[in-house]
Amino acid sequence: MSLKVSSLKVSSLFLLVVSVPALSRSIDSNDAPILDPAIIEEVNRQGLWKAGINERFLNVTVGEARSLAGLLEDIPKQPLSPPPVHPQIHLPISFDARAQWPHAIHPIRDQGRCGSCWSFSSTGVLSDRFAIFSNGHINVVLSPQQLVSCDTANNGCQGGIPANAWKYLVDTGVVTDQCYFYTSGTSGKRGYCYLVHPTNICPSGHGIRHFYYAHSAYYVPATELAIMHEIYYNGPVDANFQMYQDFHAYRGGVYQHVTGQHIGGHTSRMIGWGVMNGVKYWLMANSWGPQWGLNGYFMIRRGVNECDIEKGVVAGLPY
């Protein structure tokens, strides 16, 4: 009898020792560093793209990185316009909107501590398209803060849906960044909407507020060629995608998900395409500042819906 009891105690102890670390890892996963040396090593071992330490995410945890994943489930609250029909011409092997429209494609910005990628990408695309369509005569940086604070169809620093943001740009319009400064990147909070007061003065105090409107808002058909034609004719687009832990360590090459846990949804400006070492890619402008990736840009596999990158492309035309 004593032998049986002893065996039972040993078995129970073994189960306890095995199960506690597994439970601990599950509970503490949000507290782990987002830049994991094991992930970096695995990516570089496979040699598909280059991983490394990005200064932007030094001392950032998985949980903090999740708070920057600002793409919510893509269910727009209002219908969008039908997309434009483009002549189906032969497209170049590579295309970069920065080369096609010099001085029209605006520089990399940083959303800071706020999950406002949806606002940065939407206002960034409309800013670019105003400069493109006006031949540089309307070259403004539009305010992501206005959408973060005032667009009630989205959730500010807790995320948003680019399609809803584009409807806001059609219905309400947006002022310039100089008129309505970006402050949520520091606070991490949505903040008060300063456009509710019946005044024409900019919230920043810099002049009279002037609204810039989108004329239309639409989903681009979820095919490689449709997206390429849209960029070629009208300029950058919003591209929604799913984001994994290895993405935060991106330092070059054509990204494809290799390893690491799912972090959340993200959206960035898609500004072109090309081919590297036989791998087709989309050229992207992120909103994590120039200290991440390729001075703020990255490439991601094209034509295979990598991380759902071709599934939720949104755009609109300037008014």
For residue 284, which of 98, 51, 91, 115 has the smallest C-alpha distance? Answer: 98
Distance, in Å, from the CA atom of 81 to the CA atom of 25, rounded to the nearest integer, reads 46
Cα angle for residues 183, 184, 190 (degrees, 5° grid):
125
Q: What is the CA radius of gyration of the chain?
A: 22
Residue written as tokens 């120039």?
290
Report residue 51: phi and psi, to 5°: -115, 155
Question: Catalytic residue positions?
Answer: 117, 266, 286
3-state secondary structure of 141: coil
The answer to whether 56 and 79 have CB atoms below 8 angstroms apart is no
User: Side-chain half-sphere of 132: how many Cα atoms within 13 Å?
Assistant: 24
